[in-house]
Amino acid sequence: MDRRVAFVLSGCGVKDGTEIHEAVSALIALDAAGYRVLFTAPDVPQAATVDHLTGKPEDTPRYVLKEAARIARGKIVPLSTLKADDFDALLFPGGFGAALTLCTFASDGIACKVNPDVERMISIAKNTGKPIAAMCIAPVILARTIPGARITIGNDPETAAALEQMGAVHVECSVDDAVTDTRNKLVTTPAYMLAQGPAQVYTGAVRMVEELGGLFR
């Protein structure tokens, strides 16, 4: 297999960036399945910065691309530089950065806006038939950008209702499974929206990657 997955990060750390367990679980699942991963992130300031030891907000600014480079081991490119020929699929791990910086769902709810580079990449994927995967809270990005998207965040009724108000179809899903929208070529899994630990996150990530493979057919 020589398929390339653009792995879209939102920083480093669950409270203001990418959830690290989810990112690593998805990376291992992709690597085991034979995909090549291209790390990418918007080159913008984080919408919020949180001290992960205390859980309190910090005044020190952090930048998404630089923080995401921690997970990528330094090999990462700005999302704005990617073109259609650079990738065969998109994947969004969760973490609050997905709902703070990649989109503004955490602050604006159903009126949220999506980062322009993220929106551009989703548009490219849709227009060229490339699959998109998302974990945890990241499916809210798909709800905002893809009318009628069939997605899951697990079973939280309030979040599910918000997704449906944005025009998505929410499907309840167990932590070890994934929901596939064959029409829109989407696959989503609940991850830490339901998971009690990294083993459950990994099981869901493996299932997501299995389903992703079917969307290339």
How far lies 137's CA from each of 31, 54, 83, 103, 128, in Å? 23, 22, 25, 11, 25
136 is catalytic: yes
* Distance from the Cα of residue 39 to its chain's centroid: 12
Catalytic residue among 103, 112, 136, 173: 136
73 φ/ψ sector (left φ>0, alpha ψ -120 to 50, else beta): left
Picking from 68, 22, 23, 64, the residue whose alpha carbon sits closest to that of residue 47 is 64
d(CA 91, CA 93): 7
Any idea which residues carry the catalytic annotation?
Answer: 136
